[in-house]
Structure 1
Amino acid sequence: MSAEPTPASTGAPAATGSGGAPGAAGAEATTGSPAPPKARIALWDNARFVLIVLVVVGHTISTVRTDSEFGFALYAYIYLFHMPAMILLSGLFSKPEVSPKAVRSTVQLLAVWLIWEGIWALIHLFVEGRGPGPGFLVAPAWTLWFLVTLVTMRIALPYIARLRHPLLFSIAVALIAGLSPAIGTDFSASRTLCFLPFFVAGWLIRDRGWLDGAWFMTPAPAARVAGWGILAAVAAAFVLLPQLRETWRIDRWLTWRDGYDWLFAHAPIGDWEPTTWAAISAGGIAVAAGLLAVAAMMTFAILLVVPRGHSVITVWGSRTLFVYLLHGPIVWVLRETGVVGGISSLGQGGLALLVAIGILLAALLSMTWVTRVFKPIIEPPIDWALARISR
């Protein structure tokens, strides 16, 4: 456990930290003196860094994932759970309240999104010569969907928390979302609905103390073995299905942005390609439920095996918002200049090199100097835009 102070959380991948343990929330109000800094729990920051590495690696290999069976399997393995797990961690430190702190963090997320939409618009303008199209601010630029999704989830959480069965409700919403082809990438609607169960589960874990026991915080060797076993079992499934790329384009399902009708038309499972609305709906819900269940198991497994002790990755894990936003332009340049394609053409060794580049990039963008230089566009000051709250 770390003793670092925990600043206000944005609910996004941690920038300067949101991995603190529950503290005396009302200490300042009841004693009249400032509450002591909350102790950080290294587990959550360690998990964040592991997941942000997977994000960067996944984006690095995404455009060449179909070049080889191994690349396709690696991409699908990562995408099965890395964003559900990241969103669960974001929900873990979100609260169903409209407090000044919650409003500030949500407004800051909106500000970061708008700043980075502008950055991406300038990149496309100066590099490709094209200005913002009709989808500007409607369809979030590449990785920015995550910020829009988190803002939407944070706004919706106070209402969802009032329901008798919030988790069941969110699961139902996630499964029903694919029934409508109108729910797509605009304002990240599809991903928001499909990933909602993980955000709600994260809030419930913290609110109801589901993982507070020693069995999880200091798991026994048998529990860790079980976690590794789950991760290995999924990996073994890909090994046993070497022709998965030709049989099922599961990667298209794992982006969680298209309706069931489109998915069955463009990514049928073998010869299974239902055509009637009822069959498409039932089949789509069944497949989505299975994928969500696998994501939940793998998320739980990765949290079991992540180190509990404080180390350098704990510090890096408190800066993942910097990595998340800054790696996008770098990977984009590597793609557009043909570097990624050229390395991929080297075969399995090339794919391994791309994975290593992704890991190295995540580590480099976690450096202290990066947070200092890019703080204005990652954690922009927004207090000037907020009304002063009198105590």
Structure 2
Amino acid sequence: MRDTYLDSGKAVLIFLVVLGHFLERMVGWKDPIAHTLLGTIYFIHMPAFILVSGILFKDKNWLKNIFFFVSLYLPFQFLFPAFDAIWSGQFKFNWNIFERPYWILWYLQGMVLWTLLAHFLIKIKFPVIISLILALCIGLSPWNNYQYSIGRIFTFFPFFMIGVVYGKSILQKIQQFKFAAVFGGLIILGIVSYVYFSQINPFWLYGSLNYTQLKVSSWQGIGIRMGLLLTSSLGIFALFALVKLLNPRFIQLGQNTLPVYLLHGFVVILIARYWKLDFNIFIEIGICLVLSMLTCWILQQQFFDQLLRKLSLWLMKPIAWLGIK
């Protein structure tokens, strides 16, 4: 039986992902109000989404799941640049096409590595602590953390491992906590206030650069990243505390997050290319909200989920013949 509470949380998260991308492409970070909304979303949505991915991790299917994510990553790594080139008119083949996963595809690359690492880490002591050390130390690396998404993958890795090891019990305790929604609301208010007054550099929230690239010392970088990870953890608690108040009508969206995640990028690219917003900031945010709702409603349909699963068969069928489970 599916967990409707978890599905409701996934529905909120995928909506925030889509909304964040519409806002980023069509409004940007420059306006203080947009910056505050985007910053609050980015503090929470991917850390929480990755924690949920950890909760859904099944070690017995680890190798099959890796091939599944690879089977989607490879074609989309060609499809997205090709689609972008069609509408931009700039046709130029990049021989280093796999050096930087295209935009949202870093999550698929992350799922491959997180699944692989989790398979081994759960067999030893202190897997969460090890993942946290990796998250803090990746910023010390001398190479560009944007390459191959290594910065993002390791920065957000602790949330995946927390999901694997403690995720289900955390969600259970949140549901049982009587005043969870009250504390959740206060935490969201605190995060909004912090983002508004600090106007934090978005690259800290992306997790894609090392400390040198972010122009801080090693110890400053470790301290800031630790604080950001803690803030995101509180944000995750707040989100799932408030999810308890939702009507379960959004469950279908939570059940079909993968097609929404992968396919909404095409919609955002196309609309953002041809529609430049030049209104009051609140009208622009309202437009992005409407576009996000429509995009989620359309892409949650079973047709798109089935389409992705058929696309993945090019690799899944051969590994099935090899007896990989």
The answer as to whether partners of 2:64 and 2:324 remain within 8 angstroms in 1 is: no
Structure-2 change in CA distance of 1:69 and 1:309 (3 Å): closer
Structure-2 change in CA distance of 1:309 and 1:388 (3 Å): farther
The correspondence of residues 322-333 of structure 1 with structure 2, limited to 5 A, is 322-333=259-270
Deviation, 1:304, is 1.8
Q: Which has the higher contact order (CA 8 A, sep 6+)?
A: 2
The correspondence of residues 207-286 of structure 1 with structure 2, limited to 5 A, is 210-211=169-170, 213=172, 215-220=173-178, 222-239=179-196, 241=197, 244-245=198-199, 249-264=200-215, 280-286=217-223
Per-residue CA distance 1:352-380 (angstroms, 9 max, x = gap): 22223223322221123443455533676
Deviation, 1:345, is 3.8
The answer as to whether partners of 2:114 and 2:160 remain within 8 angstroms in 1 is: yes
Q: Look up the equivalent residue of 1:364 and give its one-letter code.
A: I
Matched, 1:150 2:98: no
**Match for residue 75 of structure 1 among 16, 38, 47:** 38
Determine the structure 1 residue equivalent to 2:91: 130
The correspondence of residues 314-329 of structure 1 with structure 2, limited to 5 A, is 314-329=251-266
CA distance in 1, matches of 2:232, 2:118: 21
Q: How many residues align?
A: 323
Structure-2 change in CA distance of 1:310 and 1:382 (3 Å): farther
Q: Look up the equivalent residue of 1:235 and give its one-letter code.
A: V
Return the TM-score normalized by structure 2: 0.91
The correspondence of residues 1-391 of structure 1 with structure 2, limited to 5 A, is 39-63=1-25, 64-95=27-58, 97=59, 99=60, 101-127=61-87, 128-206=89-167, 210-211=169-170, 213=172, 215-220=173-178, 222-239=179-196, 241=197, 244-245=198-199, 249-264=200-215, 280-307=217-244, 311-337=248-274, 339=275, 342-372=276-306, 375-377=309-311, 382-389=316-323
Per-residue CA distance 1:98-134 (angstroms, 9 max, x = gap): x4x3322221110010121121232244333423313
Determine the structure 2 residue equivalent to 1:24: none
CA distance in 1, matches of 2:313, 2:205: 30
CA distance in 2, matches of 1:168, 1:229: 28
The answer as to whether partners of 2:71 and 2:315 remain within 8 angstroms in 1 is: no
CA distance in 2, matches of 1:163, 1:236: 40
* Structure with greater helix percent: 2
Q: Which of structures 1 and 2 has the bigger CA Rg? A: 1
Q: Look up the equivalent residue of 1:237 and give its one-letter code.
A: Y
Return the TM-score normalized by structure 1: 0.76
Deviation, 1:386, is 2.8
CA distance in 1, matches of 2:14, 2:48: 10
The answer as to whether partners of 2:180 and 2:238 remain within 8 angstroms in 1 is: no
The answer as to whether partners of 1:47 and 1:317 remain within 8 angstroms in 2 is: yes
CA distance in 2, matches of 1:258, 1:69: 23
CA distance in 2, matches of 1:383, 1:322: 20
Deviation, 1:58, is 0.6
Per-residue CA distance 1:120-158 (angstroms, 9 max, x = gap): 232244333423313302211111010000101101112
Identity of aligned residues (%): 23
The answer as to whether partners of 1:42 and 1:309 remain within 8 angstroms in 2 is: no
CA distance in 1, matches of 2:315, 2:113: 21
The answer as to whether partners of 2:135 and 2:154 remain within 8 angstroms in 1 is: yes
Deviation, 1:328, is 0.2
Q: Look up the equivalent residue of 2:253 and give its one-letter code.
A: W
The answer as to whether partners of 1:319 and 1:371 remain within 8 angstroms in 2 is: yes
Deviation, 1:346, is 3.7
Per-residue CA distance 1:231-288 (angstroms, 9 max, x = gap): 122223345x2xx44xxx4212111111111112xxxxxxxxx5xxxxx001111111
Larger deviation: 319-328 or 132-141? 132-141
Q: Look up the equivalent residue of 1:107 and give its one-letter code.
A: F
Per-residue CA distance 1:176-227 (angstroms, 9 max, x = gap): 1111241422322111110110000000115xx63375x433442x122112
Q: Look up the equivalent residue of 1:133 and give its one-letter code.
A: N
CA distance in 2, matches of 1:150, 1:183: 20
CA distance in 1, matches of 2:283, 2:322: 57
Cα RMSD, aligned residues only = 2.4
Structure-2 change in CA distance of 1:77 and 1:347 (3 Å): same
SS in 1 for 2:100: coil
Structure 2: 5+ residue runs without aligned partners?
none
CA distance in 2, matches of 1:323, 1:106: 20
